[in-house]
Amino acid sequence: MKIILADDVDNLGTKGDVVSVADGYARNYLVPKGLALMASKGALKQAEQMRRAREEREQKVKEEAAGRVSKLGATSVYISARAGEGGRLFGSVTKTDVARAILEQLGEDVDRHVIRLDDPIRTLGSHSVEIHLHEEVNALVTVEVIAHEEEPEAQ
């Protein structure tokens, strides 16, 4: 039976897709739950409109992500951390620290979950960090970890 998905369904398709499924699956689960519509001429036109709207929305999101790449990759982000001998940090620089530094220095709000950092940064110096902005768009940000200067205590 041909149906039109009214919502994203795992292992089946996304909203607006026309798919063939078993009759019982369509009649007993997908249609009653509002996840699908029976495929008729009018419904097929509606599915085409839903698919076109989804593609336009995805293209817009992709273009916005591509615009953010140039801003994120243009300058380095500096993070000050306490370090010991040999440039080893007391502690580490995490995804949260990188996200906070990007927001403060570049004005871009980046969720820490899209920052690709396998292990926390534990040394001074320059580190390249990948940020996954979209399925097809990644930005490379240079993170400069510098030694934190201790301020002399006022007496």
Whether residue 133 is found in the same domain as residue 83:
yes
Q: Which pLDDT does position 155 carry in this prediction?
A: 52
Other C-beta atoms within 10 Å of 126: how many?
A: 10
Whether residue 52 is found in the same domain as residue 85:
no
Name the pLDDT band for 153 (thresholds 50, 70, 90): low
Whether residue 54 is found in the same domain as residue 85:
no
Integer angstrom CA distances of residue 7 from 35, 52, 106: 5, 14, 37
In which domain, by residue range, is 108 found? 75-147
Task: Convert the pLDDT of each residue in 51-61 to its tens digit.
Answer: 888 889 888 98
In a domain, 79, yes or no: yes
Task: Convert the pLDDT of each residue in 64-87 to its tens digit.
Answer: 888 888 888 778 889 888 888 888
Number of domains in the chain: 2
In a domain, 67, yes or no: no
In a domain, 129, yes or no: yes
Of all helices (H) and strands (E), which one includes residue 140?
Answer: strand 137-147
CATH number of the structural domain spanning residue 81: 3.10.430.100
Whether residue 34 is found in the same domain as residue 82:
no
In a domain, 70, yes or no: no
In a domain, 91, yes or no: yes
Whether residue 109 is found in the same domain as residue 133:
yes
In a domain, 69, yes or no: no
Q: Which pLDDT does position 32 carry in this prediction?
A: 92
Whether residue 54 is found in the same domain as residue 13:
yes
CATH number of the structural domain spanning residue 29: 3.40.5.10
The phi and psi torsions of 54 (rounded to 5 degrees) equal -65, -45
CB–CB of 3/36 below 8 Å?
A: yes
Amino acid at 35: L
Q: Residue 78 and residue 75: Cα distance in Å, rounded?
A: 10
Q: Please report where in the chains the tokens 């699956």 appear, as a residue.
A: 25
In a domain, 18, yes or no: yes
Average pLDDT over residues 137-151: 82
Q: Residue 15 and residue 19: Cα distance in Å, rounded?
A: 11
Q: Residue 10 and residue 88: Cα distance in Å, rounded?
A: 46
